[in-house]
Amino acid sequence: MTDFLTLAEDIAREAGDMLLAKRPTMSAEIETKSSPTDVVTALDTASELLIRERIEAARPGDRILGEEGGEAPGESDVRWIVDPIDGTVNFLYGLPDWAVSIAVEVGGRVVAGVVNVPTRGEVFTAALGEGAWLGGARLRCNTGVPLPQALVATGFGYSQAGRAVQGEVVAEVLPRVRDIRRGGSCAIDLCSVAAGRVDAYYERGINPWDYGAAGLVATESGARLGGLNGRPVSPDFAICAAPGLFEELHDLLAPLDPERGA
């Protein structure tokens, strides 16, 4: 795992440095994916290409799943899960909350993860069973926080119908918690739970490349990460918080049927 983590961190740092040097303006070449608000820039593609090339050079035969390029087959039971820019809209607008995320999965289980937030000079790392770290500091999520005092992060999807449901859900959650934060990057939100910068996080519509690395950072900090009604985290739904608060937030969200219309 140390070798995996070192390689992932080196690559994530290189991609982050490239993106900082070449960060675009709103006049940059932009395409859309699932909706007019779901954007991809030329640098999303360039970042993923750099990451794939570095992994393939160091680990030929491993599989790679990337947000932009899909899954590349391989011969080993190792799969790299890559988000070249998590928070592309923030990146495009010059907002600081965007990240390069690289996770390593062995036999279907994530064993190492790196989330590089270049604008903040922060690199979150985690290895299975070895804790979560920011630089030389070990991360511990906030514990013992009751739901009414919880600062809760969330995000919104790209489809119009899905956003309508998310708006209804957050309207029910907001009066029952300390406050809501919407940063625009799932990976950073999960790392923020790990670092104690927020107490909890929930969202519908995130993908494995969004939570692959950051999910391990969160769970290695002591947080619980899962879906609704005992299901694992998935694109259907994600909740992350320390045990106790996780259950309280789940019991608030589940009756709201936040997955409806999916």
The answer to whether the annotation marks 86 as part of a ligand binding site is yes
Residue 109 has phi, psi (to 5 degrees) of -120, 130
- Rounded-to-integer distance, Cα 161 and Cα 164, Å: 5
Contact between 116 and 100 (Cβ < 8 Å): yes
The answer to whether the annotation marks 67 as part of a ligand binding site is yes
96 burial via Cβ count (<10 Å: 0-12, 13-18, 19+): middle
Four-residue CA torsion sign, 177, 171, 228, 207: negative
Q: Which residues contact 116 (CB under 8 A, 6 or more apart)?
A: 9, 12, 13, 15, 16, 99, 100, 101, 122, 123, 124
List the binding residues.
Answer: 67, 83, 85-86, 210
List the binding residues for Mg(2+).
Answer: 67, 83, 85-86, 210
